[in-house]
């Protein structure tokens, strides 16, 4: 069985829109549609955007979403048996299997990005990768700190991303190294404390928008970040999306559950491979392909 996986923020690449247009003329139509839906030239950022422009959350998220969905839609080889997306990638996965429309997905992702950008500017915060430490130890250290800092992305064995205020991250870095972490590396492509309580104000406003859109039964099961389990139920998908912004990404469990459900090939749908190394570290039997 084929499992298609969709990366999130950080997978962007300069000129990725040009890559799409070289694959198919239909990609240009999708890019124009995105411009009309959003009311600004997202296509210009996808084609001509600089590295610095593509790091801005309000640009990055709709760009990554559009790229992945368009690539899936224009590819004759996109024939999934199951899908999953890492963080933002979950929205792309849902649109790729037509649980939500491309238009609704773009609007949701743009709102998500704008709300998160606003919080990033108001609350100095970020994320950091903790390498070489058991998840339970990282969780325990974070729980003992008064400032906001939590386990956010369970990416693969030996790599857990924490999220919180700058003060919380600074204190956690000291304590985690004392506890035996090989390194605590700040994430430069991420501008705020995603998947943490810092995002609660954004989550409340995003929930209002999620409640209003139509969610259809996806063509194949989607393994969602909040539970790491498959779902085809529209209301269950909606509830998990509402919790998505403040809950951790359970990526290790997601991949393990997909393998248990007979995934035998993993294919990443993004501008450049980001999830492939995580999958290989979770299960050495698999070397993911790229669509």
Catalytic residue numbers read 87, 195
Nearest to 273 by CA among 57, 12, 15: 12
Pairing of strands 159-165, 222-223: unpaired
Partnered with residue 85 across adjacent β-strands are 6
Whether 38 and 119 have beta carbons less than 8 Å apart is answered as no
Which DSSP string do the residues of the chain spell out, in sequence order? -EEEEE--TT---TTHHHHHHHH-THHHHHHHHHHHHHTS-HHHHHHH--TTGGGSHHHHHHHHHHHHHHHHHH-TT---SEEEESTTHHHHHHHHTTSS-HHHHHHHHHHHHHHHHHHHHHS-EEEEEEESS-HHHHHHHHHT-SSSEEEEEEEETTEEEEEEEHHHHHHHHHHHHHTT-SEEEE-TT--S-TTSGGGHHHHHHHHHHHHHS--PPPSS-EE-TTT-SEE--HHHHHHHHHHTTTS-B-HHHHHHHHHHTT--EEEE-SSS-SSHHHHHHH-TT---EE-
Whether 62 and 109 have beta carbons less than 8 Å apart is answered as yes
């Amino acid at each position: 069985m084929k499992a298609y996986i969709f990366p999130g923020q950080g997978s962007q690449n300069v000129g990725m829109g040009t890559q799409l247009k070289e694959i198919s003329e239909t990609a240009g139509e999708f890019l124009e549609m995105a411009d009309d839906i959003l009311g600004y030239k997202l296509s210009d950022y996808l084609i001509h955007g600089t590295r610095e422009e593509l790091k801005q959350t309000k640009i990055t998220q709709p760009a990554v979403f559009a790229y992945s969905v368009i690539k899936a839609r224009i590819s004759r080889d996109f024939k999934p048996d199951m899908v999953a997306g890492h963080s933002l990638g979950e929205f792309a996965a849902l649109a790729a299997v037509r649980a939500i429309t491309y238009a609704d997905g773009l609007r949701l992702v743009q709102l998500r990005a704008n709300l998160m950008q606003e919080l990033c500017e108001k609350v100095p915060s970020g994320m950091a990768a903790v390498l070489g430490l058991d998840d339970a130890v990282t969780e325990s250290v974070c729980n003992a700190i008064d400032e906001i800092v939590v386990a956010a992305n369970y990416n693969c064995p030996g790599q857990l991303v924490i999220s919180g205020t700058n003060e919380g991250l600074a204190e956690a870095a000291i304590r985690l190294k004392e506890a035996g972490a090989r390194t605590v590396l700040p994430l430069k492509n991420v501008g705020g404390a995603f998947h943490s309580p810092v995002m609660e104000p954004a989550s409340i406003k995003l929930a209002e928008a999620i409640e209003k859109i139509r969610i259809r039964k996806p063509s194949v099961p989607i393994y969602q970040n909040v539970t790491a389990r498959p779902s085809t139920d529209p209301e269950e998908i909606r509830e998990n999306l509402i919790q998505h912004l403040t809950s951790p990404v359970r990526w290790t469990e997601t991949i393990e559950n997909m393998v248990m459900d007979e995934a035998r090939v993993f294919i990443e749908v993004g501008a450049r491979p980001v999830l492939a190394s995580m999958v290989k570290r979770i299960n050495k039997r698999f070397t993911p392909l790229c669509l």
